Structure 1
């Protein structure tokens, strides 16, 4: 080999070795950079790439949110129903039919829809979904015949799966339980840490009102039950990997919340008030001995999951304070008796005109001579304005507080509720109401007269009004109406017991004699007074009517009330009915509803008296 050829060969070998050395140096530099660069950057990128890869292959559908359920006092479910529904996952049209085109027609026939409509719906899916009837808020509950027809089909990405509905179609949404919805702002406020940890998403649902709101942290549970369907990047099924079920194995969740509600009574009263045309207002039924909430109805009806333009539909009128009118005369009489500015034997004179402040009695020409009991029975404005003017504002306000008026009365833990590690109020929307917006700097006779007949600043809720009756029946002892009796883990183990509680006033309580005098007057209301129209019924009842003048959008309206109890000899229930914003010169709808409610409660097949 010549010297020239040998030198050329050596140069080529040198170039190759140099290139290899430079390549190896580049690899070493790259490895060094990866070692020295921040680990979080690499990890985040890797996680992102992994999630993108999985997202191309996995479609997830929630079968059960894992949320805890509510039960009535007898253990009957108020929420939660599991049934078979049709689930469909997005796929290419040509990948859908494993058994032939006829299967699509058979599926459409089983669902009672045109095949083309079903085909278009399937092709429009971007995410997995359950089949709904048009306009329905929850997936279609498949019948036995539909199940038999569908299970014989061979269609990829189509399967019958168990679906758990939070609010079954058979139950109307109830303000007392509240609702769940997607509410990112509430999630950010309540679950900031879980959002950071990615154990919750802003798209998750949370309690928006009622018990769903107050007990949300316990109801959330440990996660949903989901089913995943695997496809490739072209939305074709990955055979052998298609389905995967994921669920929590925690034996303690979801929790079971036992309420004091009676589902049978609640359902009957819901149907009754709708049949009677209650458009705006509330009905509250309390156990006469314990003040436990047996039923609570609010109208307008709570939306069933669809968006409602009218915010009033979300308001629980049973716990919203409203002008009470003559119902407040029960408080005025109690204050006058406690202050010894009147007694049962006093006689009054009503000629229909109070003589000042432009105040008149509703009875044209007046009631004439009448006793204190006659005045309550006939709801005489002149007598109760007179009694109010004999007192000062503080005297009336103190008695109201003794009776649980002017403050929230629903069950609250006071101190931290152990499972939540913070105080618990079962009905967070409850308004405390008021007697005076502010105490007058100098005595104001007109203010006292109008307050004494339940006008001016006075506001109470139907819950407070019903509880006022329970307080009178129990000799002046104010109790906190309870809505939940206990909370248990999924395995039945007790998580928390919510005991009955009293709500003592710093001023003590009214005397039993005062309470008995007022109860006798309430009997007279129905026997010979403003409640005579509801005297006939299954039970003998006692109560007090009320009509308050209010303004709605600049127009004068009426709040119509009736509160009372029954049966008289052995009271079982205290009831408050409010019909709001009624037209002038209309009969008292609340009184009529009260009689109907009492007759329903008196029916022999209800579950009265069985609460613990």
Structure 2
């Protein structure tokens, strides 16, 4: 009996030892990188290492002139906590950085890890000569470095996009590639589009190993580690003008536009200089009120802005000469509240007479059922307008991957229904185009009829500044309007502002002459409308194409024209100061 008990006890002990051994094998060999969601190797190294990350290793975005849009690098002084237990030339350092040594001591006393020396609330910013003198002293634990900081001022958040930790998405994108589960990846905007190029290959950091008491394990040597590949991380140079972007965002906020978009293009290059979407993103709750949506890239009801397409088609089909239109009537023949009498085509465009374009639309559809699609594409309005092309192993790469296609017809049978045709002709019914596409249409006309793809990125650069890939200017279509048609469209767009009854006459006093087209689109919600103004300036030598749309507002509350006018003023002022360079 006793022997049997001994055998049972020994067996249980052996089983316990085997279970413990199995657990150790699992921890040490099998699940080292994923044990209940924890990377044991990382955790073990972190436990015995004091470190300061200098650069997270992810590529960055810069503006067209090189100013940072995501991170900046500040020359700072790093101090390691073991300094408080040793005698070191603190007086020399205090003299070089022009700060009292008591301040340095006080910050070291409370340090539990490597610290950046601060003066008040801000890190001390060193001059090149200060960095050189400090590092020449070769004091263990005292190192001058350029440390990466996230910009406090956010620029073009909807364009640049956000980063986030998403283990599932990380695995979907990168499979078995060895990346920390805490690696941040792009979840929207350019951060998402360029994620493959920007994903970090490793951090740049200062570190030293410690024992259980926090004492240096291998002497006072501080190691500097960085990515093994000297060409990375990549920098993405956008087309954004940082100063213009900041002013546009300030103007949108000042006028309290709750939902809408602004797009400002360089007419010559078709580059995005500024792009804003409202509401702004609150990083604490980015999905609140649909703020993550970039309204500039999503199709919206354009209203009378679409009349530009009908006008172009009517001009090229010779329907204008000799016709006058009864602007006392609506498109369905009912009386208009505001009597405007019989009008010419030119007058009708300036005052935005719906009856005129309803009639022209029906005449055009009778000639060609696809006439609207044809001319919308010639004008650079459809289907998508953002840059697209092959980038290494990415076929049809689209930096603005969130841009959606526009649309004119919801049902092909509507082309045979006169009222549906008339409604479509004035940008209602199922017509949907993005503010980016409307800006592209205005730039196409301003440029003389050449439709280009819209660029948001100029190039990607290696760490040493050499070009990794250039996003060259590209035609959107080779099918263009006649020069005579473009000339007449330019005159019509100017007439909207110069005509005494023109819908854009409030812009006559601006420092630049403006050409453009207004739009008030019914959204199907009582008096709720989309309020547009799309145009370019200066009208006689176009440099900028600008679109402002306020979504889901009322005509009386709309701030569209005020925002448009203020952006024109801001652009003029910056040019006078020589800020914006062609």
TM interval, short-chain normalised: 0.7 to 0.9
Once the two structures are superposed, what CA deviation does each residue of 1:260-290 show, in whole Å capped at 9, x if it has no partner? 2212222222222222222221111111222
Asked whether the 8 Å contact 1:351–1:367 carries over to 2, the reply is yes
Whole-Å separation in 1 of the counterparts to 2:532 and 2:167:
39
Aligned residues, how many? 523
TM-score, normalised via structure 2 length: 0.79
When residues 355 and 212 of structure 1 are mapped into structure 2, their CA distance, relative to the original with a 3 A threshold, is closer
The 8 Å contact of residues 326 and 454 in structure 1, kept in 2 or not, is answered as: yes
Match of 1:491 in 2: 464
Matching residue of 1:580: 551
Q: Is the CA contact (8 Å cut-off) linking 1:61 and 1:227 kept in structure 2?
A: yes
Aligned 1:561-572 pairs, distance under 5 A: 561-572=532-543
Cα distance change, pair 184–382 in 1 and its aligned pair in 2 (3 A): same
Please provide the CA RMSD for this pair. Answer: 3.8
Cα contact 2:414–2:420 (8 A) shared by 1? no
The 2-side partners of 1:487 and 1:261 are apart by 14
In the alignment, which residue of structure 2 is the partner of 1:370?
343
Is 1:605 the counterpart of 2:581? The answer is no
In the alignment, structure 1 residue 417 sits paired with structure 2 residue 391: yes
Equivalent-residue separation in structure 1 for 2:172 and 2:152 (angstroms)? 31
Alignment check: 8 A CA contact 1:405 1:434 kept: no
CA deviation after TM superposition for structure 1 residue 57, in Å:
1.6
> 1:216 Cα deviation (Å)?
1.7
Residue in 2 that maps onto 1:5: none
- Give the structure 1 partner of residue 10 of structure 2: none
CA distance in 1, matches of 2:175, 2:526: 45
How far apart are the structure 2 equivalents of 1:141 and 1:386? 66
Quick one: structure 1 residues 78 and 290, their matched pair in 2 at CA, closer, same or farther if it must change by over 3 Å? same
Of 330, 335, 342, which residue of structure 2 is paired with 1:353? 330
Aligned partner of 1:44 in structure 2 is 29
Change (3 A) 1:129 1:183: farther
Matched, 1:240 2:247: no
Q: Secondary structure at the match of 2:364?
A: coil
Does 2:304 align with 1:316?
no
Partners in 2 of 1:142 and 1:51 — Cα distance?
Answer: 29
For residues 232-286 of structure 1, give each alpha carbon's deviation from its aligned partner in whole angstroms, at most 9, with x where no partner exists.
3465654726743321243211223222221222222222222222222111111
Deviation at 1:161, TM superposition (A): 7.1
SS at match of 1:272: helix
Counterpart pick for 1:325 among 293, 297, 303: 303
Q: Quick check: 2:156–2:276 contact (8 Å CA) kept in 1?
A: no
2:187 matches 1:224: no
Q: Which runs of 5+ in 1 are unaligned?
A: 1-39, 101-105, 134-138
In structure 2, do the counterparts of structure 1 residues 379 and 110 end up closer, same or farther at CA, with 3 Å as the change threshold? farther
How many angstroms apart in 2 are the aligned matches of 1:474 and 1:51? 56
The answer as to 2:158 corresponding to 1:175 is yes
Q: Is the 8 A contact 2:50 2:114 kept in 1?
A: no
Structure 2 residue 159 is matched with structure 1 residue 164 = no
Q: Please state how far the C-alpha of 1:436 moved relative to its aligned partner.
A: 1.1
1:569–1:185 CA distance, 2 compared to 1 (3 A): same
Using the TM superposition, give the Cα deviation of residue 204 of structure 1 relative to its aligned residue in structure 2, in angstroms: 0.4
Measured in 1, the distance between the counterparts of 2:431 and 2:310 equals 12
**How big is each residue's C-alpha offset from its partner over 1:42-79, in whole Å with a ceiling of 9 and x where there is no partner?**
98269789777645422554321122222222233323
Deviation digits for residues 568-599 of structure 1, max 9, x if unmatched?
1111111111111213533x421221121112
Q: TM-score, length-normalised on structure 1?
A: 0.76
- State the match for 2:21 in structure 1: none
State the match for 2:58 in structure 1: 67
CA distance in 2, matches of 1:329, 1:299: 26
Matched, 1:533 2:521: no
- 1:461, CA displacement in angstroms? 1.0
Which of 545, 549, 560 in structure 2 is aligned with 1:590?
560
1:403 — aligned with what?
379
Distance in structure 2 (CA, Å) of the matches to 1:395 and 1:584: 31
Contact conserved, 2:329 with 2:355, CA < 8 A, in 1? Answer: yes
Q: Distance in 2 between matches of 1:306 and 1:486?
A: 31
Cα distance change on mapping 1:278 and 1:527 into 2, 3 Å: same
Q: Distance in 1 between matches of 2:401 and 2:295?
A: 13
Q: Distance in 2 between matches of 1:214 and 1:388?
A: 39
Q: Gaps spanning 5+ residues in structure 2: where?
A: 1-24, 34-39, 88-98, 135-139
Name the CA distance, whole Å, in 1 between partners of 2:520 and 2:428.
10
Q: Deviations over 1:517-551 (max 9, x none)?
A: 22211111111201111210111111111111225
Q: Deviations over 1:202-256 (max 9, x none)?
A: 2101122222222222222532112334333465654726743321243211223
1:295 aligns with 2:274: yes
Per-residue deviation, residues 439-464 of structure 1 (Å, max 9, x unmatched): 11771122111111111111111111
Residues 193 and 401 in structure 2, CA contact (< 8 A), matched pair in contact too = yes
Moved more, 424-433 or 58-67: 58-67
SS at match of 2:563: helix
Q: Does the CA-based 8 Å contact 2:141-2:220 persist in structure 1?
A: no
Taking the TM superposition and a 5 Å limit, the aligned residue runs for 1:381-396 are 381-392=354-365, 393-396=369-372
CA-to-partner distance for each residue in 1:321-369, whole Å, 9 max, x for gaps? 11111111111212223344x215421112143345xx775xx333211
Alignment-derived partner of residue 258 in structure 2: 279
Q: 1:558 to 1:479 in 2, by over 3 A?
A: same
Question: C-alpha separation between the residues in 2 aligned to 1:284 and 1:129?
Answer: 44
Partner of 2:455: 482
